[in-house]
Amino acid sequence: MHPGIILAALSFTFLAAASDSLDWNAITPSRDLQYHDCYDGFKCARLEVPLDWTNDSDSRTAVIAIAKLPAVVSDDDPTFGGSIFTNPGGPGASGVTYIQRAARNMQNFLDKPGRRHYELLSWDPRGIGHTTPSSDCFHSNAVSRNAWLLEERGNGGLAKGLGAIKHGLSMTKALSQRCKDEGDAMAYMNTPSVARDMVHMVDKIHELRQKESTIKVHEELKKRTEDVVARLQYIGFSYGTVIGNYFAALYPGRVGRMVLDGVVNVDDYAHGPGWLTNLDDTDEILEQFWRGCHEAGPSTCALASVSDSSASELRDRFWSWIAQLDDTPLPVVTSKGFMVIVTGNDIRKFVGVALYDPIGSFKPLANTLQQAMAGNTTSLITSMIGLDLIPDLENICPGKHNPLVLPEARSAVLCGDGDDLTHKDAAWWHKYVQHLMDKSQLLGSYWSIIRFSCSSWPFRPNLSFKGPFKTPKAVPSLASGHPAAPLLFLSSRLDPVTPLKAARAVASNHPGAALVIQEIWYGTFGGDGM
């Protein structure tokens, strides 16, 4: 899978892709919120914000794409609970696409009929989806992009050694130069800028409600609501927990309620080599797969064999097959004549995808792997194309209004948030890759690509924040500079990329924070636990 897709897409794999038929260019951007009917029962807006929040003399703007599902009651109803912002993760995922599929389930889960009703809102952060300026360095040229992705895939993964790392360094340098030639907009797409946009969105929502309440609300009540500083209600998943931590640390007095699910260690994210703490649980979840498959037997799990005396025999067959593919990749010609070379690196990523949704994915994963190991790769190739592990060259052009999840959007965010690594040589990166491989035999090689994308990234942000990622004690009476309530953290007992250890570390920096642990994999609110 090319960099960025797994992070951006798999933080909400339990959702089907949304149909995106709206022409966002038909919505005129505005400095105040102006909602328009969109999709099926949603409201959409394009909100202008300063491109550079630190420079009042810079007249350039970003235009934020916003979509919301209104509450089932009017805003002036006594049971109206306000807006709940949500972000699906990434960096690189479209909140607009996500909210179309998630909002109704979330609303049903959160609403208390007759007592409290919420509207659900998400947005495309800077450089992502329908927000402009775009981070698309290929100008929607799908042929050029897929050619690039195929060359990257042909490099075989960074675990192949110094030769692959040096080739990869040259590729990232070329992509970075192509993005640099587009101008400096990508210097303004990091998380502190996104957090500042969120403050602005909260204020604009509050202003709009004040305007709409002029006739409906008694003057005394209106005055009381004007005196209240608008606060954020937020649910963030995966990278969305990073956004939440930045917002809470930078603007603690603007926090109303905040739920962070599938928690990223934000200190590891922002400092040092970066992304070193994500894979603590990954291989243990895979071990659970082997054990569960062996216990279920071949009647339920196709990978199991009646001759296996333990799960280790099943596991060893898999890794022996991976070693064969590492040494001699498998040539495949599909029924439509497309030629595909399947490597061990491809299978590692394919299995890694399944760890995000073990309840739904493990049984079909076993079937697909068993068929492929027996020589029938039809299901494997179909699944890999469907997951963007292999570019779909038959349907190479995306829908007219359907934004791609872009690797460079991910880089613009995480490279700007993290320390500068552009001075690191191939030997340093080799050690970095080995460190992550020691963490996870399954996903270490892939995971190293995420930070590797920063090896030549040319943009450094002028609005930066390195912590501390802490908040003062919550004050329910709404004291200035304090959250209105302690933060709530949610974590699975085992999680492939956002381990429980990270949730515990981050929660310890927020006084009074609660941590709910669910005995299920990958997220709680955002996964099968919902």
Our measurement of the distance from residue 187's CA atom to the centroid of its chain's CA atoms, rounded to an integer in Å, reads 20
Query: Among residues 433, 456, 479, which one ends one of the domains?
Result: 456
Say if CB 9 and CB 405 are below 8 A apart.
yes
- The model's pLDDT over 1-10, given as tens digits with 9 standing for 90+, comes to 333 334 333 4
Say if CB 110 and CB 27 are below 8 A apart.
no
| 351 and 392 housed in the same domain | yes
Whether the pLDDT of residue 315 is over 70: the answer is: yes
Half-sphere exposure of 465 (CA within 13 A, CB side): 24
Residues 6 or more apart in contact with residue 297 via CB below 8 angstroms:
304, 306
The reply to whether 93 falls in a domain is yes
The tally of domains found in the chain comes to: 2
| 330 and 246 housed in the same domain | no
* Range of the structural domain that residue 493 is part of: 30-134+186-274+464-521
Which tokens go with 176?
A: 């970075």
- The model's pLDDT over 366-383, given as tens digits with 9 standing for 90+, comes to 999 999 999 999 999 999
| 302 and 344 housed in the same domain | yes
Mean pLDDT over all residues of the chain? 90
Say if CB 410 and CB 1 are below 8 A apart.
no
| 37 and 129 housed in the same domain | yes
Whether the pLDDT of residue 524 is over 90: the answer is: no
Which of 369, 383, 356 is closest to 314 using CA atoms? 369
What's the pTM value of the predicted model, to 2 decimals? 0.91
Query: Among residues 401, 434, 456, which one ends one of the domains?
Result: 456
| 284 and 331 housed in the same domain | yes
The pLDDT of residue 226: 53
| 34 and 152 housed in the same domain | no
The reply to whether 10 falls in a domain is no
Which tokens go with 320?
A: 């022996």
Which tokens go with 487?
A: 């933060």
Whether the pLDDT of residue 18 is over 50: the answer is: no
Q: Is 217 helix (H, G, I), strand (E, B) or coil?
A: coil
Whether the pLDDT of residue 402 is over 60: the answer is: no
CA distance 98 to 14: 11
| 341 and 429 housed in the same domain | yes
Which of 193, 404, 357 is closest to 262 using CA atoms? 357
Whether the pLDDT of residue 284 is over 80: the answer is: yes
Which tokens go with 67?
A: 């979509």
Contacts of the segment 175-183: beta carbons below 8 A, 24+ positions apart: 175/137, 175/148, 175/408, 175/456, 176/456, 176/457, 176/458, 177/456, 177/458, 178/137, 178/138, 179/135, 179/137, 179/408, 179/411, 179/458, 179/459, 180/458, 180/459, 182/137
The reply to whether 303 falls in a domain is yes
- Say which range, 227-236, 318-327, 379-388, 514-523, has the weakest mean pLDDT: 514-523
The reply to whether 21 falls in a domain is no
The reply to whether 305 falls in a domain is yes
The reply to whether 5 falls in a domain is no
As a residue count, the chain comes to: 530
The reply to whether 529 falls in a domain is no
| 235 and 384 housed in the same domain | no
Which tokens go with 194?
A: 């996104």
The arithmetic mean of pLDDT across residues 277-297, rounded, is 96
Which of 245, 122, 128 is closest to 186 using CA atoms? 128
| 310 and 377 housed in the same domain | yes
Query: Among residues 402, 436, 456, which one ends one of the domains?
Result: 456
- The model's pLDDT over 121-164, given as tens digits with 9 standing for 90+, comes to 999 999 999 999 999 999 888 888 888 988 998 888 999 999 99
The pLDDT of residue 404: 62
Q: Residue 74: which CATH number? A: 3.40.50.1820
Whether the pLDDT of residue 223 is over 80: the answer is: no
The arithmetic mean of pLDDT across residues 411-435, rounded, is 98
| 88 and 42 housed in the same domain | yes
| 47 and 196 housed in the same domain | yes
170-193 in b/e form (b: 16+ CB < 10 A) is ebbeebbeebeeeeebbbbbbbbb
Q: How confident is the model at residue 385 (pLDDT cuts 50, 70, 90)?
A: confident
The reply to whether 1 falls in a domain is no
Our measurement of the distance from residue 176's CA atom to the centroid of its chain's CA atoms, rounded to an integer in Å, reads 22
| 476 and 490 housed in the same domain | yes
